[in-house]
Amino acid sequence: MGIEVFWYKKNKKTINFLHSDTIDELSLQVENCTKCSLHNGRTQTVFGDGLLQSNILIIGEAPGRDEDKQGKPFVGRAGKLLTEILKSINIQRSDVYITNTVKCRPPDNRNPSKEEVDACSNYLESQIEIIKPHLIILLGKVAADRLLNLDLPMSELRQKTYYYKANKIPVVVFYHPAYLLRSPSEKSKVWDDLNYMKNVFTKNVG
Ligand code: URA
């Protein structure tokens, strides 16, 4: 029973001091970043939050107003729903690592452009390199479009396995929790996404 509950902790990696120094350094670079115009409107950068040793990395779209204020990803209503979704399969938020495609809030919460995501991509790539997750979850179509270079509807993006670059880390796409807040009738499909993700994880991690 215990094994089933904690399936996502299997083969967890250890992060050494070097890695935690590297992540601090990276976070400092992000804090000072002016690579795209999003830096003009930010209160602060939103680097990422969670367990560096996590097997699961969750990537959302972009910080919103609450995140910009608090400096942490997914702390608003969508974040609360994300926490509930994870809890529903016994995953604690503190056991995963969460970040976004861009680290600054776009004005009026518009979608980040391809250019903005590209300008920020080195930071995300370094985060993935340091965390070395066994599985990546992309939240929503914008994160999937920008990171997978696909322009497909969510109905075609979900329930499929993609692979992150040469690292061959499996990537799955979930509905964005903000979309689920706007379309509560879709919430039941989250179960299918969670089950699919668990199967992908088990197949790849054992
Ligand atoms: N939506 C996102 O995509 N990211 C956040 O951090 C918050 C809301």
User: From the CA of 48, how far away is ligand 1's center (Å)?
Assistant: 11
Give the closest residue (by CA) to ligand 1 atom 3: 61
User: From the CA of 128, how far away is ligand 1's center (Å)?
Assistant: 18
88: number of Cβ within 10 Å: 11
pLDDT in tens, 60-113: 999 999 999 999 999 999 999 999 999 999 999 999 999 999 999 999 999 999
User: From the CA of 3, how far away is ligand 1's center (Å)?
Assistant: 31
Is there a domain that residue 14 lies in? yes
Is there a domain that residue 16 lies in? yes
Domain total of the chain: 1
User: From the CA of 75, how far away is ligand 1's center (Å)?
Assistant: 8
pLDDT lower than 70: segments of the chain: 1-5, 15-18, 20
Is there a domain that residue 126 lies in? yes
Is there a domain that residue 1 lies in? no
Is there a domain that residue 85 lies in? yes
Nearest to 146 by CA among 169, 124, 168, 131: 124
- Please tell me the pTM assigned to this model: 0.94
User: From the CA of 102, how far away is ligand 1's center (Å)?
Assistant: 10
* Ligand 1 pocket, mutate which of 61, 72, 117 (most atoms under 8 A from CB): 61
Write down the pLDDT at residue 1: 46
Cα distance between residue 150 and residue 157, in whole Å: 9
Range of the domain at 168: 6-204
Closest ligand 1 atom to residue 60 Cα is: 3
Does an H or E element contain 60, and which?
strand 56-60
Question: At 78, which CATH number?
Answer: 3.40.470.10
Q: Which region, left, alpha or beta, applies to residue 149 given φ > 0 means left and ψ of -120 to 50 means alpha?
A: left
Around ligand 1, the residues with Cβ closer than 6 Å are 60-64, 67, 73-74, 78-79, 100, 139, 178
